[in-house]
Amino acid sequence: MDIHRRSLLKGLATAGAAGAAAVTTGGLALASPERRKAPADAVGMLYDATRCIGCKTCVVACREANGLAPERSGDGLYDAPQDLSGSTKNIIKLYRDGNDSSYMKTQCMHCIDPACAAACMLGALQKREFGIVSWDGSRCVGCRYCQTACPFNIPKFEWSSANPKIVKCEMCRHLLAKGGIPACVRVCPAQAVIFGTRDELLAEAKRRIAESPGTYVPRVYGEEDGGGTQVLYLAHVDFEKLGLPKLGPEPPPNMARTVQHSIYKGFVAPVALYAVLGAVLLRNRRHPPEEAQEERS
């Protein structure tokens, strides 16, 4: 098909008009949505990497409390998970650089405004009681958008199962419902990970930093990061070295919200787009392209 100069210009002009319409309408609402606050009953965990002794008792207790099968090493002798996975919700890792080292407990951060829940199209992942980001298998379609959305790379998928689940720490909500506490906290012999309301934990973390100023990076990871999390961290090395990403105070879902909410604000952009397309259709009916006229004759 030959592209005629005139039709090309017309097409470009139409597309430009549609785009301009979208940008104008969007521009009206580019102010980002408000940051959410932690729910009133928010509980959490505070992991103090300087207190952890790396015994991995929490890894074993997590398996037992959540009925997760061990991940055997090649020789079958050890339970040696290398990362979070479809059967590991909690893991102790080691950061080492020369003589400097730190343990790191990795599990769901229970964000105040979780990206996984924002990405979940059917609400399988939601913040439920105590602000725990919980997974509801009856609503999950296995799209794994939550995996892509999570800035901490936490949700895992049971690749080996025919009926796979999304696996991630749910702060032992089945134990909390019975008045218990998370298994990892219960067994920690060094109180490196403690459980409490988010406010209590934040105060305790700040107290520790104030009490021994040289010990810690003077910051509580999770207080503001990614809009705030219910699992908080203290460490003596940069949090990035422990695999915690550098996130601004803005919750990650807010970016998507800004874009989407802007586009659909008052439904102006879709209406404008379809109006333009309709106009092009009408115009083409009245003035059929030259080729078509030639063929008919």
Partner 1 sequence: MNLWDAHPGLPPQHIKSGLHRRDFMKVITLAAASVGLTSSAAMRIAEAAFKGMKPSVIWLHFQECTGCTESLLRTAHPALSELILDLVSLDYHETLFAAAGYQAEAALKSAMAQNAGKYVCIVEGAIPTKDGGIYCKIGGRTAMDILQDVAGKAGAVIAIGSCASWGGVPSADPNPTGATGAPQLLPGKTVVTIPGCPANPYNLLGVVLQYATLGTLPALDSQGRPLFAYTRTIHEDCPRRAHFDAGRFAERFGDEGHRQGYCLYKIGCKGPETHANCSLQGFGEVGSWPIGIGHPCFGCTEQKLAFRVPLHQTVKIDRPMPPDTYPPIHADHNHISPLATGLAGVAGGALLTAGYLASKKIGASPATPDDTPGARLPAQGE
Angle between helices 268-286 and 253-264 (to 10 degrees): 50
Single residue of 49, 59, 184, 193 touching partner 1 by CB under 8 A: 59
242 near partner 1, rule: CB under 8 A: yes
267 CB-near residues (< 8 Å, 6+ apart):
none
157 near partner 1, rule: CB under 8 A: no
Question: Are the CB atoms for 155 and 116 separated by under 8 Å?
Answer: yes
Question: Are the CB atoms for 151 and 252 separated by under 8 Å?
Answer: yes
Whole-number Cα distances in Å, 247 to 150, 224, 226, 244, 252: 12, 9, 5, 9, 8
Max distance between CA atoms of the chain, in angstroms, equals: 92
Contact range with partner 1 by CB under 8 A, out of 126-134, 158-166, 235-243, 279-287 = 235-243
Contact range with partner 1 by CB under 8 A, out of 23-31, 42-50, 93-101, 267-275 = 93-101
Query: Which residue, 103 or 130, is less far from partner 1 as judged by CB?
Result: 103
78 near partner 1, rule: CB under 8 A: yes
Query: Which residue, 60 or 181, is less far from partner 1 as judged by CB?
Result: 60
DSSP 179: T
Query: Which residue, 56 or 89, is less far from partner 1 as judged by CB?
Result: 56
Min dist CB 91 to partner 1, Å, is: 7
Query: Which residue, 94 or 275, is less far from partner 1 as judged by CB?
Result: 94
Contact range with partner 1 by CB under 8 A, out of 54-62, 201-209, 225-233, 269-277 = 54-62
Instruction: Give the DSSP letter string of 20-62.
Output: HHHHHHHHTT-SPPPPPPPPTT-EEEEEETTT-----HHHHHH
246 near partner 1, rule: CB under 8 A: no
Query: Which residue, 76 or 179, is less far from partner 1 as judged by CB?
Result: 76
Q: Are strands 231-234 and 43-48 parallel, antiparallel or unpaired?
A: parallel
- Within 120-139, which residues bind partner 1 (CB under 8 A)? none
Instruction: Give the DSSP letter string of 123-154.
Output: SSEEE-GGG-EEE-GGG-----HHHHH-TT--
100 near partner 1, rule: CB under 8 A: no
Other Cβ atoms closer than 10 A to 26: 18
Single residue of 42, 46, 92, 194 touching partner 1 by CB under 8 A: 92
- CA torsion through residues 189, 193, 194, 195, sign: negative
Question: Are the CB atoms for 166 and 125 separated by under 8 Å?
Answer: yes
Question: Are the CB atoms for 290 and 4 separated by under 8 Å?
Answer: yes
Min dist CB 156 to partner 1, Å, is: 12
73 near partner 1, rule: CB under 8 A: yes
79 near partner 1, rule: CB under 8 A: yes
98 near partner 1, rule: CB under 8 A: no
95 near partner 1, rule: CB under 8 A: yes
Q: Residue with structure tokens 């990871």?
A: 221
24 near partner 1, rule: CB under 8 A: no
Residue ranges in contact with partner 1 by CB under 8 A? 54, 56, 59-60, 70, 72-73, 76-83, 91-96, 103-104, 241-243
